[in-house]
Amino acid sequence: MYKIAVIGDYDSIYGFATLGLSICPVKTREDARKKLKQLADGQYGIIYITEAVAAQIEEEIEQYRENTLPAIIQIPGVSGNTGSGVNGVKKTVEQSVRIFCLEE
């Protein structure tokens, strides 16, 4: 069974622990890069990441974009919603629809 984790600043993610998710507070870009790799190489099927942290490690996230697992999903943090998470979901849906239409 796959696990679920959340990466971000502590204030944005600490509440997810009550839901049984693994929380991974990070303070620097390097911490975020290392944690993402560790989780992606482990037994994590879903990795939520705050938009602010995701903006710092876009290249690393892009490496996993084509993989089925882990699903990396951006969420707003305490500083608010930048819209990049919603845009990422829209882009993924558009790609999926295009692929589905080409297969038929």
Of 79, 40, 45, the C-alpha closest to 63 is 40
CA-to-CA distance for 91 and 38, rounded, in angstroms? 26
Task: With cut-offs at 50, 70 and 90, classify the pLDDT of residue 94.
Answer: low
For residue 9, the 8-state DSSP code is -
Place of tokens 């990070």: 26
User: By three-state DSSP, how is residue 8 classified?
Assistant: strand
> Where is 62: in which H helix or E strand?
helix 58-62
Give the pTM: 0.80
Of 69, 7, 65, 66, the C-alpha closest to 33 is 7
Region of poorest pLDDT, from 5-9, 44-48, 71-75, 79-83? 79-83
